[in-house]
């Protein structure tokens, strides 16, 4: 990578950022495409987020990715965000459009793209979604936009799932959405109808984590998606044993990164290169 007077700067705002995969993925992508861009990690303390955000304009940066703990707070410091991103309440990508900062959430679209790549299409499907955090909401909006037929939500904290239902109903009405208690997730009356099961919880991130749901009740035709990206989770191992199709969250990460790349550079992202870099990075981490 050769830095010149014309190098364009993109960044990552988080706290901490030291273990993020994104700098490796994006810098490799810029290099692959021969673009004079650089992606830098910025460890921004919460008390400095406002100043850091205004610096995007002051330093004429192209944009940033935003990660924990800033995804919600940064909204207050941006010039505009699409209505849906406002409802999701979290931004992961900022674009500097001639001095105006626009915030987006590319999680849901990244999720949809990653499924599409595997030949799974969401239209008219029945989907069971576990979890009701930020990722769950972003994914749910996209599921509805893709015209699924039915969405079944379950979450450890029932009230949070109900709140999510309310948000989803604010902009869409055609999809049949139902909330079931977490305690009933392993014996669902509707289990035979489910075609796609998505785990959006953090259960599975750590080595000893159990599966957030038992797959025994589902037909083997169910497609299982786990947004956890750093390992093959117990849920995915179960799916594999049952002969189900399955996918981990690394693809979602790659595609949401690819969408950000396109917004910043106006070029299609080299997805294969990004995937290879991310996979190698995770393998190295396992080995270290």
**Residue with nearest beta carbon to ligand ATR:** 133
**Phi/psi of residue 233, nearest 5 degrees:** -75, 170
Cα separation, 23 vs 7, whole angstroms: 16
| Nearest CA-CA partner of 239 in 267, 253, 220 | 220
Positive or negative, the CA dihedral 97, 103, 106, 108 is negative
* C-beta separation of 31 from 54 below 8 A: no
DSSP SS3 for 177: strand
Q: Minimum Å distance from CB 206 to ligand ATR?
A: 10
Phi, psi (rounded to 5 degrees) for 276? -65, -45
Per CB under 6 A, which of residues 113..132 are in contact with ligand ATR? 131-132
**Can you tell me which of 201, 230, 247, 256 binds ligand ATR, judged by CB under 6 A?**
201
203 binds ligand ATR, rule: CB under 6 A: yes
Task: Tell how strand 176-181 and strand 100-104 pair up.
Answer: unpaired
For residues 226 and 127, give the distance between their C-alpha atoms in angstroms, rounded to a whole number: 13
Residue of 22, 53, 140, 200 that binds ligand ATR (CB under 6 A): 200
74 touching ligand ATR, by CB under 6 A: no
The nearer residue to ligand ATR, 14 or 270, going by C-beta atoms, is 14
Exactly one of 155, 211, 233, 265 binds ligand ATR (CB under 6 A); which one?
A: 155
Catalytic residue among 2, 6, 8, 71: 71
Q: Residues for the chain: how many in total?
A: 288
**Nearer to ligand ATR among residue 38 and residue 215 (C-beta):** 215
Closest CB 74 distance from ligand ATR, rounded Å: 14
Which residues, 6+ apart, have CB-to-CB distance to 18 below 8 Å? 41, 43
Question: Which residues make Cβ contacts (< 8 Å) with residue 278, sequence separation at least 6?
Answer: 21, 24, 25, 250, 253, 254
Size of the site for ligand ATR (CB under 6 A): 15
User: Does 71 participate in catalysis according to the annotation?
Assistant: yes
Among the listed ranges 13-21, 150-158, 242-250, 257-265, the one in contact with ligand ATR (CB under 6 A) is 150-158
Query: Which of 35, 55, 73, 133 is close enough to bind ligand ATR by CB under 6 A?
Result: 133
Q: Does 89 bind ligand ATR (CB under 6 A)?
A: no
Site for ligand ATR in 209-248 (CB under 6 A): 212
Taking CB under 6 A as the criterion, the residue among 157, 187, 279, 283 binding ligand ATR is 157
Site residues, ligand ATR (CB under 6 A): 131-136, 155-157, 160, 200-203, 212
**Catalytic positions, written as ranges:** 71
């Amino acid at each position: 990578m050769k830095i010149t007077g014309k190098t364009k700067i993109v960044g990552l705002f988080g706290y901490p950022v030291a273990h993020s995969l994104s700098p490796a993925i994006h810098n490799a992508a810029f290099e692959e495409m021969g673009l004079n861009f650089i992606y830098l990690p910025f460890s921004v303390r919460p008390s400095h987020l406002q100043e850091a955000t205004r610096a995007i304009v002051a330093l004429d940066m192209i944009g940033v990715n935003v990660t924990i703990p800033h995804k919600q707070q940064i909204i207050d410091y941006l010039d505009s965000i699409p209505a849906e991103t406002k409802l999701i309440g979290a931004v992961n990508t900022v674009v500097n459009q001639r001095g105006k900062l626009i915030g987006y959430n590319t999680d849901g679209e990244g999720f949809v793209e990653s499924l599409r790549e595997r030949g799974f299409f969401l239209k008219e499907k029945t989907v069971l979604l576990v979890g009701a955090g930020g990722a769950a909401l972003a994914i749910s909006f996209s599921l509805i936009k893709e015209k699924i037929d039915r969405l079944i939500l379950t979450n450890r904290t029932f009230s949070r799932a109900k709140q999510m239902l309310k948000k989803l109903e604010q902009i869409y009405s055609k999809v049949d959405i139902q909330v079931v208690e977490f305690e009933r997730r392993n014996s669902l009356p509707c289990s035979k109808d489910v075609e796609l099961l998505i785990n959006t919880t953090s259960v599975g991130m750590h080595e000893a984590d159990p599966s957030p749901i038992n797959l025994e009740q589902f037909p083997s035709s169910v497609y299982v998606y786990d947004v956890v990206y750093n390992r093959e989770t117990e849920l995915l191992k179960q799916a594999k044993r049952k002969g189900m199709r399955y996918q981990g969250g690394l693809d979602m990460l790659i595609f949401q990164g690819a969408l950000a790349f396109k917004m910043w550079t106006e070029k299609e992202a080299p997805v294969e290169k990004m995937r290879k870099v991310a996979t190698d990075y995770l393998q190295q981490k396992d080995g270290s």
